[in-house]
Amino acid sequence: MHKYYARTGFYDFVLNNLKKAILPIIGVILAIYLFNKYVYNINDGLHHFTETVSRTSILITFFVSETLLGLIPPEIFIAWTKKTEEPILNLVLLATLSYSGGLISYFLGKAALKIKSLKEYLEVKMAKNLENANKWGGILILVGAIFPLPFSIACVAAGMIRYPFKRVVLFGLFRFARFAIYAWAIFKVVN
């Protein structure tokens, strides 16, 4: 596998994309740290959030976010679960909703191909990226499932390149591992 990935340029592809992502990730972490330290204590906010917003509203908001490009970071919702009466149950619900949202995003990606201008753009301008995504689709889904990148974006892309749905379902299961690992880390920080 290593020789295949080296020969096909997978490592260069991943490295170039990581270089593009590292500054925004560091920026978000720094912004959260500074916000927590100088503007508003996040623990207080989570406590207030848990007491004022219904569980159903939170879960619906999370599901919509995870289906539509993962606009709200799941870590906020993972931290929320710690403040609830049943943190493990709510964490499992979040992971299931995130996974389901990603699978729905796959079909949104497939449906997007029916837009003629988008299909032409992908076939002409993004041909090389599509070729790479087809080669390494499983790894890309795995990275989207585990790392702090929007899982739904990886699933939309998989739908657009018609990556086999069975593999998306399989590799997407790593989303549950991500939620468990992140919860373990976040639960140690949130009081």
| Mean pLDDT lowest among 34-43, 68-77, 90-99, 158-167 | 34-43
Residue 186 has pLDDT above 70, yes or no: yes
For residue range 128-175, what is the model confidence (pLDDT) as tens digits? 666 766 777 777 788 778 877 788 888 988 888 888 999 999 999 999
For residue range 57-68, what is the model confidence (pLDDT) as tens digits? 999 999 999 998
Among 76, 95, 101, 77, CA closest to 153: 101
Tokens (6 digits) for 40: 């508003």
Residue 125, pLDDT score: 63
Tell me the HSE value of 80 on the side-chain side, using a 13 A CA sphere: 25
In the chain the beta strands, taken as DSSP E runs, fall at none
* Mean pLDDT for the stretch of residues 96-112: 94
Let me know: does 174 contact 142? Beta carbons within 8 Å: yes
What is the pTM assigned to this prediction?
Answer: 0.76
Most confidently modeled range among 60-74, 86-100, 177-191 = 86-100
